Amino acid sequence: MTRSFKRLLIAGGAGFIGSHFVRYLRAARSDVEITVLDKLTYAGNLANLVDFEGQAGYRFVHGDICDAELVDSLAAQADAIVNFAAETHVDRSLMDPFAFIETDVRGTAVLCEAARKHDHQAFLLVSTDEVYGEVRQGRSEEDDVFRPRSPYSASKAAGEHIAHAYAASFGLPLLVTRGSNTYGPFQYPEKLIPVLITNAIDDLRLPLYNDGSAVRDYLFVDDHCRGIDQVLHEAPSGSVFNIGTGAETSGLQVAEAVLEIMAKPRSLIEFVADRPGHDYRYALDVARITALGWEPQVTFADGLQRTVRWYQDHPEWWRPLKSGEYWEYYRRNYRPLVS
């Protein structure tokens, strides 16, 4: 099946993955009119979208997905919504769960309601592999039950449940993607990879929780965006897709790879107190998205190299972010290892 859209509402488009998705659409589908709706939280950044300012077929609206009136008026001018907007950092969800419940649950419900009311062709919810919870063995399949363990993953799971309820009860034409840990340029320096890179640039310690053994499937952001685009345009309504590479990399391996690319000493690694409730492994079965014709194009070695270069070449993007509130968060989050 193929679907095409004239006007897309991209919620959370000023964040990391959302802004790459806008860039992807501008290049691959330049005829589509895009409205970005974003609250510009600490993680949202208009600098991510500066290339498109003033272009025909692109507009930015500053606002909250929980603002039902605003969302309704924007949905009236669109044929589909793609939702990236969320509070996204697990460690912050341990400090302030309610911000996550508000945006990731209630905000998702507001978007579902507007998409239903305006009879949209599709509502694509960008979800996460974290809804499955920790997977010590085997791989999560799309029909597996949710076992989220952090306020972040529980809020994403709850938002997804609301969306599935709208699909079952009201016929919302829902599509869901559950991507794995995504990295690349323009990622706010609180997630593992940009923390490691920006700290290494300044010869600061590279903090690894516990013993650095937790495993993730690191996915380059361009591959993630291409997967979302493919699901949006080609997948049957009502379907859910895992998006990941199938590879498994520990935090320690990531830190060592960053230091090797940057020719910095291994002694910069510092083991710190563990994240409470830390999920030690996620692993996705990606047979379904593979059958749709998607596969990752960027290896971890290549993607990491490109990401390191980008942060080295763009201090004007990330240096202003690492100030004030950032260091308050940092001091609160990272504690010495207690054994």
Give the interface with ligand NAD as residue ranges (CB under 6 A).
11-12, 14-18, 38-41, 43-44, 64-66, 84-88, 103, 107, 126, 128, 156, 179, 181-182, 188
- 152 given a catalytic annotation: yes
Q: How far apart are CA 6 and CA 79, in angstroms?
A: 7
**Binding of residue 191 to ligand DAU (CB under 6 A):** yes
Choices 38-46, 73-81, 108-116, 211-219 (CB under 6 A): range interacting with ligand DAU: 211-219
Give the residue, chosen from 71, 105, 208, 243, that forms a contact with ligand DAU under the rule CB under 6 A.
Answer: 208
Choices 28-36, 55-63, 64-72, 85-93 (CB under 6 A): range interacting with ligand DAU: 85-93
Q: How far is the CB of 21 from ligand NAD (least distance, A)?
A: 9
Exposure string for 8-40, b = 16+ CB within 10 A, e = fewer: bbbbbbbbbbbbbbbbbbbeeeeebbbbbbbbe
Nearer of residues 278 and 338 to ligand NAD, judged by Cβ:
278
Identify the H or E element spanning 234: helix 221-234
| Residue closest to 247 by CA, chosen among 184, 299, 194, 187 | 299
| Length in residues, the chain | 339
| Residue closest to 129 by CA, chosen among 95, 176, 164 | 176
Q: How far is the CB of 282 from ligand DAU (least distance, A)?
A: 6
Asked if 154 and 286 touch (Cβ cutoff 8 Å), the reply is: no
| Residue whose structure tokens are 């809020």 | 155
Q: Which of 38, 64, 79, 129 is catalytic?
A: 129
CB atoms within 10 A of CB 69: 10
**Binding of residue 116 to ligand DAU (CB under 6 A):** no
- 141 given a catalytic annotation: no
Choices 41-49, 82-90, 164-172, 310-318 (CB under 6 A): range interacting with ligand DAU: 82-90
Six-digit token pair at 208? Answer: 């690894």
Binding mask 250-279 for ligand DAU (x = CB under 6 A): -x-----------------------x----
Pairing of strands 215-216, 80-83: unpaired
Q: How far is the CB of 126 from ligand NAD (least distance, A)?
A: 4
Six-digit token pair at 277? Answer: 């409730």
Pairing of strands 249-250, 215-216: antiparallel
**Binding of residue 85 to ligand DAU (CB under 6 A):** no
Q: How far apart are CA 106 and CA 108, in angstroms?
A: 5
- 316 given a catalytic annotation: no
Catalytic residues: 129-130, 152
Binding site for ligand DAU (CB under 6 A): 88-90, 128-130, 180-181, 191-192, 195, 207-209, 212, 214, 216, 251, 275, 282
